[in-house]
Copies of this chain bind each other. A is one copy, B any other.
């Protein structure tokens, strides 16, 4: 087993100004490669503290990854400490990173200052992986400390740190014997973790000894099931064995499964619509535009998403969506009838093949009849309209998110059923 430690350097983390997302992204990538992260640390831009921490982590981990502290300003001192910790005698200029500094500043229309050129200087014991997304180099120091550990220094800017991860993993694989691991993901929505576990127990219990299933729940995307295989060195046909197990699992799950990779509902529904040349629209009350927002976060969604109406006021429900006033009066705003009329109204208005609608109470507070967290969802298509009530118990923000995800899944179920007929 290879042990890793992840160290984030920067005062902005310690004062709570910036949320550290780098550590999670690095940890996830390492874990999926079969490397065990034993600690994550955040420390300030303080030379003594950085030195002590790095020496400590090098004594407990085979791989130490640091992010941050590499900026051109004088409060960024990681590089000087790395020079010392690695036993380097001086600095050298790395031509590849120097070229990148020039090219990046040019593309931003900025002059190249001496402070920028210094970014291409690295301690002489450092190997460099050129950072194509920023001016700070990615540095690699090998054979440090008693464990002969490897230290990777990554930039702190999140998209630069994330961008560096594949090259780091390649470098690790090239230098250390890593046991092979194969992963496959399945995304599931609309079932509680405990019920899912019960449903697939016979299959899970019968998994071969070298396979393991992980449940990774997320309130917005459902449950990610990750099936991992740790085959014997040199074994052939692992992918096929994994594929066979996956198919058996999917057969058990049926329409609960919405994707065969780490994904989300808006992408899965979008793919279904696009594949079949269908269009969609949305009418939103309590979700307040969030379903439209989710549809349109997917690049290329203009191929199938025509538009939406957020009908927060009753007058907009009536005037824009054409929900009859007496339907609202007889059944109340939070009702199956109003949800259905909203979906049918926006479908008529936009001319889309399908439509989804929500009306409910995100909170705080109920309406005297329905408790906070109640939502009626409707989906409407060429074969009719369906509605369903759900009740969630979260705060306003989380209720809006759950309502939206559930509405997307409700539409997906209608699409699957229509397309299979």
A interface, CB within 8 angstroms of B: 13-21, 23-31, 37-44, 49, 53, 159, 216, 281-282, 284, 287-293, 295-297, 299, 301-302, 305-313, 315-316, 319-320, 349-351, 362-364, 395-397, 400
Contacts and interface: CB of A to CB of B under 8 A. Distances in A.
Contact of A292 (B15, B40, B288, B364): B288
Contacts of A41: 39-42
A113 to B, nearest CB: 15
A75 to B, nearest CB: 14
Nearest to A215: B17
A308 to B, nearest CB: 4
Copies of this chain, how many?
Answer: 2
Which of A17, A25, A53 has the most chain B CB atoms closer than 10 A to its own CB? A17
A292 B310 contact: yes
10 contacts: A15-B28, A16-B24, A19-B24, A41-B41, A159-B395, A288-B293, A289-B295, A292-B292, A293-B293, A308-B310
Interface of A, secondary structure class, is mixed
A339 to B, nearest CB: 16
A312 B296 contact: yes
A259 to B, nearest CB: 18
A334 B305 CA distance: 18
A362 B296 CA distance: 10
Contacts of A40: 13-14, 20, 41-42
B306 A313 contact: yes
A404 to B, nearest CB: 9
A315 to B, nearest CB: 7
A28 B15 CA distance: 5
B43 A297 contact: no
A114 to B, nearest CB: 19
Contacts of A42: 23, 39-41
Given A27-B14, A44-B38, A315-B306, A320 B296 contact: no
B309 A302 contact: no
B309 A313 contact: no
Contacts of A308: 289, 309-310, 312
Contacts of A159: 395
Contacts of A14: 27, 31, 37-40
B315 A350 contact: yes
A246 to B, nearest CB: 20
Nearest to A363: B299
A316 B312 contact: no
A17 B224 CA distance: 10
Given A16-B29, A288-B296, A297-B396, 5 more contacts: A13-B40, A14-B31, A289-B310, A292-B312, A305-B312
A284 B309 CA distance: 10
Given A15-B27, A19-B24, A296 B289 contact: yes
A299 B349 CA distance: 29
Contacts of A349: 316, 319-320
B307 A297 contact: no
A16 B159 CA distance: 17
B306 A307 contact: no
Contacts of A38: 14, 43-44, 49
B296 A302 contact: no
Contacts of A15: 27-28, 31, 37
Given A21-B19, A307-B316, A396 B290 contact: no
A396 B299 contact: yes
Contacts of A311: 307
Contacts of A216: 17
